[in-house]
Structure 1
Amino acid sequence: MSEDSRRGSSLHWSDGLPEEGERLRHDQPSPPESWWASDDAPADSGGRRLGIGSRWLRPALIGTVSVAVLIAVTSWALAATSANRFESPPLQLLWPTQDAVTPQSPPEATTPSEPPEPEEPDFISARELLETLDVKGRAPRTGYDRVALFGQSWLDLDGDGCSTREEMLKRDLVDVVMRDSCIVQSGTLLDPFTGQTIEFVRGPDTSFLVQIDHVVALSNAWQTGAQQLSAEQRVQFANDPLNLLAVDGEVNQQKSDSDAATWLPPAKSFRCEYVARQVSVKAKYGLWVTPPEHEAMARILDGCLGEPALPD
């Protein structure tokens, strides 16, 4: 085959492709076909193998490889940039997921603190309280009048409809039977002055067997500082439960208005509490004690140093 024939064949081997003269110069030599042709490449109408040695295919193949290399390099650069970008700081999720939640160690066990111990009320013994009282001589009894100075007997100061006497009977008697909400019909008194048991039954011939004693007698109070109290304070003093005890009527008459220097309960087991109550009453109302009274009280309380003063 002549060179023109070969050239012509190479210019028209595929439909739809541009003339080779439009793409390649006719006078540009081509490398030997054995350099590029492949045994399994398709043949043209002249039996020529269409391998990668074809002149039109070589530039396309080179371009394709170049583009692939460029894409690979670009992808590697992007991947490296992305890796550096997210390496620091770490990716922060906008919402928690099960995998993203960082497990937290359980809180350390703490020993529960012990509740504070309840504060004990201030304790003061009757013996200590005695030393806070003034010691003076007795004032004159001049002008003393029980009703005028201390009010009518057994008033209802708290306004509950019950007199002070009835309230003390309800407090100090046991097995109490009430006539109504205020009147004590009967009951049993364990007399603190004598230690004896007295059955109380209300009636004109029996009620007097149980009387209400002023532990600090009203006359004694008048002579040891009550003259300085107001009329309202003196009425309060005469009806103050701290200064009242239900006792054997006969023994109460024997006591009269005596102080601790001249009279003490026959039941020796009750003397500490009795004197402690007297000291507490006098301290509450700012009354004083006479020297003999102080001596007698101190002697009793020295035998029971743990006897507490009574609260208001």
Structure 2
Amino acid sequence: MSDDHKNPGFLQQPRNLLLLVAGAFGLYMLVSGIIGMVTGTDDADSLLQDVPQSKAKTALLALPQPDDEKYPGYIRSEFGDGWADLDGDGCNTRNEILARDLEEVEYRNGDCVVAAGVLEDPYTGKTLDFVRGEGTSEAVQIDHVVPLANAWISGAWKWDLLTREEFANDPLNLLAVEGQANQDKAAMTADLWLPANEQYHCDYVLRQIAVKDKWKLSVTDTERVALAKVLRTCPDTNLPTN
């Protein structure tokens, strides 16, 4: 008869095996969790599963995926030569957005050119004084909520010049914001940049969804997930219209 049953190590083998398996499983779960955080295994559908149906939810989930077509490099002039006056009222889009978004607006030479005003900046939460002039006008800039460079790769490269110019001057996609915040954002999408003012995250994401839905622009998987993560926290999911 074998003497193995007299060996304490032999008696401990099943227990040791269980501990080894449990340890390996724990390590697997830890590594899987880390990989999940890095790769973003969440998807927009699951994130929004318990969110009541709304235009914002429907629009976000319906936005197209990027296609595989090769697109030419982005050039700003493909969206027109600066701010336009598409409605023919004599005021360009920059002045119209300043007049819409600023308070205590003062005009120069009539009721078109905005000379001064006060901005409650949505991106930072700061109160800014706007004064038109060299070295001061840049303090308040007009941001394309969906950046033109992103719109280009999301489908705008297929449009004609007039359509791209209309997009670049669409009030729905424009906000007066702090100049530095606009520069910091650059052409980044919602998965890479959100306003420092967290109270504005919902409004920002809703406007991005509204713009991409209106113009049928695509979103990447990571972009859609980032938008969904914010949307699921929003008490009001009505899409802006202007």
Q: Normalization by structure 2: what TM-score?
A: 0.74
SS in structure 1 at match of 2:62: coil
Q: Which residue of 1 aligns with 2:56?
A: 126
How far off its partner does 1:305 sit? 5.5
Q: Measured at CA, do residues 190 and 226 of structure 1 come closer, stay the same or move farther in structure 2, by a change above 3 Å? A: same
Q: Which residue of 2 aligns with 1:297?
A: 227
Over the aligned positions, Cα root-mean-square deviation in angstroms equals 1.7
2: CA distance, partners of 1:137 / 1:273 = 28
Max Rg structure: 1
How far off its partner does 1:281 sit? 0.5
How far off its partner does 1:150 sit? 0.3
Q: Which residue of 2 aligns with 1:159?
A: 88
Find the partner of 2:119 among 175, 182, 189: 189
Q: Which residue of 2 aligns with 1:89?
A: none
Describe the superposition over 1:124-168 as per-residue Cα deviations: whole angstroms up to 9, x where unpaired.
432221011112368766331111x10011111110111100000
Q: Which residue of 2 aligns with 1:275?
A: 205
Find the partner of 1:172 among 97, 101, 112: 101
User: Which protein has the bigger helix share?
Assistant: 2
Tell me how many residue pairs correspond in the alignment.
189
2: CA distance, partners of 1:216 / 1:139 = 21
Describe the superposition over 1:274-302 as per-residue Cα deviations: whole angstroms up to 9, x where unpaired.
01101110111111101110010000001
Which deviates the most, 132-141 or 233-242? 132-141
**In 2, are the aligned partners of 1:139 and 1:223 still within 8 Å (CA)?**
no
Runs of 4+ residues deviating >3 angstroms: 137-142
Q: Measured at CA, do residues 139 and 302 of structure 1 come closer, stay the same or move farther in structure 2, by a change above 3 Å? A: farther
Describe the superposition over 1:93-137 as per-residue Cα deviations: whole angstroms up to 9, x where unpaired.
xxxxxxxxxxxxxxxxxxxxxxxxxxxxxx943222101111236
Which one scores higher on RCO, CA 8 angstroms, separation ≥ 6?
Answer: 2
How far off its partner does 1:201 sit? 0.7
1: CA distance, partners of 2:69 / 2:116 = 41
Q: Measured at CA, do residues 293 and 210 of structure 1 come closer, stay the same or move farther in structure 2, by a change above 3 Å? A: same
SS in structure 1 at match of 2:130: strand
Q: Which residue of 2 aligns with 1:198?
A: 128
Describe the superposition over 1:206-255 as per-residue Cα deviations: whole angstroms up to 9, x where unpaired.
00000000000000000111122222111000000000000000010000
Counterpart residue type for residue 181 of structure 2: V
Counterpart residue type for residue 217 of structure 1: P
SS in structure 1 at match of 2:203: helix
Q: Which residue of 1 aligns with 2:158?
A: 228
2: CA distance, partners of 1:138 / 1:210 = 37
Q: Normalization by structure 1: what TM-score?
A: 0.58
1:286 matches 2:216: yes
2: CA distance, partners of 1:139 / 1:267 = 36
Q: Measured at CA, do residues 139 and 248 of structure 1 come closer, stay the same or move farther in structure 2, by a change above 3 Å? A: farther
1: CA distance, partners of 2:107 / 2:237 = 34
Q: Measured at CA, do residues 208 and 184 of structure 1 come closer, stay the same or move farther in structure 2, by a change above 3 Å? A: same
